Chain A
Amino acid sequence: MTGHTLGRADFDVIAGWVEPGHRVLDLGCGDGSLLKRLIETRGIQGWGIEIEDANVLAAIGNGVNVIQSNLENGLADFAEGAFDHVVLSRTLQTVRHTEGILREMLRVGREAVVSFPNFAYWKNLRAVLDGRMPVSEDLPYQWYDSPNVRFFTLLDFEALCAQMGLAIRERRVLDEKGNPVEAGDDRELNFLGSLAVYRLTRAR
């Protein structure tokens, strides 16, 4: 788990989706900067999960609640509905058990917030057409040192949500600079978006 020490564009979106007093669990919280921001600007109560020693230390230094644990082992320590929001920011692509983690997020949380780099972003596609794996603001790694183990697109993710019976409450798609992308249809959005942020619930 690498956490989100990179761009902060999705933080703005997530900040808009939480309410003061909400309990937020941030999976792969890195140095705790998202939670710190949500605590300071939105008055939430937060806990992060992080595996890397350096990030755990940094999060504690930031005054953020952090629990050192491996996401791949699930969220079994937490009760059903313990949180209002469970956030997975720029981390889903590093998790091997994709369905498992999504299901767990919506077991312990009322809502899941998921952001991830969109592999179908046109610059990524162009890189592949040029014969090289993409390296961008939202996919900043070389193929040989990338923590990412799953490569997927907006449309792939939405298909998985449908298959798992998860309801998409809101969707924000951002370009490399973090600005919202306007598009005529989903296919175009999939082509123009570098980072996607979703707000999910269990289907009613």
Chain B
Amino acid sequence: MPGQSVGAVQSHCAHFSEPIELRSGGVLPAYDLVYETYGTLNAAKSNAILVCHALSGHHHVAGHYADQPDNIGWWDNIIGPGRPLDTDRYFIVGLNNLGGCHGSTGPSTPNPATGQPWGADFPMVAVSDWVEAQARLADRLGIDAWAAVIGGSLGGMQALRWSISFPERIRHALIIASAPRLSAQNIAFNDVARQAILTDPDFHGGHYYAHGVRPVRGLRLARMLGHITYLSDDQMGEKFGRELKNGSFSFDYDVEFQIESYLRYQGDKFAGHFDANTYLLMTKALDYFDPARLDGGDLKRTMARTRAGFLVVSFTTDWRFTPARSREIVAALVANGRNVSYAESSLNFGHDSFLMEDSHYHGVIDAYLRNIVL
């Protein structure tokens, strides 16, 4: 896909002093949301696209910081002049969700009641809470309705939730590599990841900040496990096979196979910077996400509330959220007579495919967004 990067970008912080009541019953008296924007909001304020992040994402979606040229946004390949999320045409907004660990209010930020990090006292947040907070950010930016809300995986769930919670404020929802609710297997993987963190001796019931430690071992295991579910078996086989680091068996428990080396590296890298409480919260938000729950599980009834147009995309090698999960969303939309297109990409990167660049995948998003009348 031709096009350029958005170049140097800056992040902003919006403070909200109105309390937000959360799905869990908890209340945040005030909160900050960090966000970035790319492109220019037009006079009619009709060209705004919200990009929602997945489990480990944040507000730095595209471009780089002037003083950190290597710190490139996590979805840079799809955003910029001439790219599918074309900043010559659209005003793109990315934020760090509530409960995050990249600047927005979360477990690692101070609890105003104590002055200490919230830790385990940070209330549970649900996808619907994120969407509510995003709506308040939209108000702040003067955006009545998004031209589109887009996201992959947990980000796609936010786009789906937007279409149900605020049908009049979202014109198009782009739901990629996502699902209308987690399966038992999905929840099982999340729980093993959580158990790794919760049983780490350095976890201290979530108040590890006060002890000057972090549950790095648990977080590392959680990420290693998660990473396995993001890749496809084929891709792992192609990339690593049974290749040995030192050419022969060493009959010990050190790193031997290349896949072990890779997973440990990914685990270490992630555990080095991510907050374990945020990881716990994000996985619970995934587990709880089930917009059809209040309709007795009938997604068709739930989707009757939507008004947006939809583009749903899945990847044949994604075994975390398989194409069948995306087709559940498509079927519920067609049953309601909604406008929906669905594309299935054969990109070979499993669940992580949604972050990759591919002519069919990006072409479909590009074609869909170019047809939106601003």
List of B residues within 8 angstroms of A78 by Cβ = 331, 334-335
Q: Is the CB of B342 within 8 A of A57?
A: no
Q: How large is the interface on A (under 10, 10 to 19, 20 to 34, 35 or more residues)?
A: 20 to 34
Q: Is the CB of A66 within 8 A of B342?
A: yes
Give the residues from 56 to 97 in chain A that come closer than 8 angstroms, CB to CB, to chain B. 56-57, 59-61, 63-69, 77-79, 82
Q: Is the CB of A82 within 8 A of B360?
A: no
Beyond A57-B360, A77-B330, A82-B334, whether A67 also contacts B367 by CB under 8 A is no
**CB closest chain-A residue, reference B330:** A67
Q: Is the CB of A57 within 8 A of B367?
A: yes
Give the residues from 308 to 367 in chain B that come closer than 8 angstroms, CB to CB, to chain A. 311, 327, 330-331, 334-335, 337, 339-344, 360, 363-364, 367
A57 and B327 alpha carbons, distance in the complex (Å): 18
Q: Which of B335, B337, B341 contacts A60 (CB 8 A)?
A: B341
Q: How far is the CB of B368 from chain A (nearest CB, A)?
A: 5
For residue B371, CB closer than 8 A to chain A, the reply is yes
Beyond A57-B364, A60-B364, A78-B334, whether A68 also contacts B344 by CB under 8 A is yes
Q: Is the CB of B371 within 8 A of A61?
A: yes
Q: Is the CB of B364 within 8 A of A65?
A: no
List of B residues within 8 angstroms of A77 by Cβ = 327, 330-331, 334
Give per-residue flags for A140-154: 1 if the beta carbon is below 8 A from chain B beta carbons, else 0.
Answer: 000000000000000
Q: Is the CB of B371 within 8 A of A60?
A: yes
Q: Which of A57, A64, A68 contacts B363 (CB 8 A)?
A: A57
List of A residues within 8 angstroms of B363 by Cβ = 57
List of B residues within 8 angstroms of A60 by Cβ = 311, 341, 343, 364, 367-368, 371
Beyond A23-B337, A60-B371, A77-B327, whether A69 also contacts B364 by CB under 8 A is no
Q: How large is the interface on B (under 10, 10 to 19, 20 to 34, 35 or more residues)?
A: 20 to 34
List of A residues within 8 angstroms of B367 by Cβ = 57, 60-61
List of A residues within 8 angstroms of B342 by Cβ = 66-69
Q: Is the CB of B340 within 8 A of A68?
A: no
A23 and B338 alpha carbons, distance in the complex (Å): 11
A23 and B334 alpha carbons, distance in the complex (Å): 10
A45 and B334 alpha carbons, distance in the complex (Å): 11
Q: Is the CB of B343 within 8 A of A56?
A: yes
Give per-residue flags for A47-59: 1 if the beta carbon is below 8 A from chain B beta carbons, else 0.
Answer: 1000001001101
A84 and B114 alpha carbons, distance in the complex (Å): 63
Q: Which of B335, B337, B344, B368 contacts A45 (CB 8 A)?
A: B337
**CB closest chain-A residue, reference B327:** A77
List of B residues within 8 angstroms of A67 by Cβ = 330, 334, 340-342
Which among A23, A47, A64 has the greatest number of chain B C-beta atoms within 10 A?
A47
Sample (8) of A-B pairs whose CB atoms are under 8 Å apart: A60-B311, A60-B343, A64-B341, A65-B339, A65-B340, A67-B330, A67-B334, A68-B342
What are the 8 tightest A-B residue pairs by CB atom distance, in nearest-first order? A77-B331, A61-B367, A60-B367, A67-B342, A68-B344, A53-B360, A63-B371, A68-B343
